[in-house]
Amino acid sequence: MKNNYCQIYLVRHGLTDWNIKGLLQGQSNIPLNKEGEKQAVEAAKKHFKKIKFAAIFSSDLVRAKRTAEIIALEKKMAVETSILLRERDFGPFEGKLFNEVIKELRLDIQSFRMLTDQEADNLGIESDSKLMERFLRFLREVAIAYQGKKF
């Protein structure tokens, strides 16, 4: 019996200077720093060396795309990008310290993550449910296109 399930490997982008500073990156196009590039090289060699991928996908944001490109280089593959894989849109809060945003909004981290669509819209950010809707749409599309494959 043929296996129609996909195997999906998820990798977070490597380190950026904004990560170090604790700034919300969201959809701001922040590049990897040298340590982030080193992390991607290590991931490629340590975790993905023996895996044969059918495709490699990435957000179109430079930090994610560069991470994927480093992993893809080891495989001699191209990276396909999608805006559906972008990080959450933090709108007016991007570039601000996460801890300051939480204080400014008078929310704890859990409450921030559980904002309703309406509450998030009022703040100009993307809610968890809209983020997941976007991500799941991507997964459904590629799972159909790559049945029984690894990506």
Active site residue 87: yes
Whole-number Å distance between alpha carbons of 147 and 38: 32
Closest to 50 measured CA to CA, from 1, 5, 9, 78 = 9
**For the chain, which domains are there?**
17-145 (3.40.50.1240)
**Which is catalytic among the residues 13, 35, 100, 119?**
13
Q: What is the DSSP letter of 12?
A: -
- Whether residue 119 has pLDDT greater than 70: yes
Using a cut of 0.85, tell me whether the model's pTM lies above it: yes
**Which is catalytic among the residues 74, 80, 87, 104?**
87
Question: In angstroms, what CA-CA distances link 51 with 8, 47, 59, 101?
Answer: 11, 8, 21, 40
pLDDT digits (tens, 9 = 90+) for 85-111: 999 999 999 999 998 998 988 888 788
Active site residue 80: no
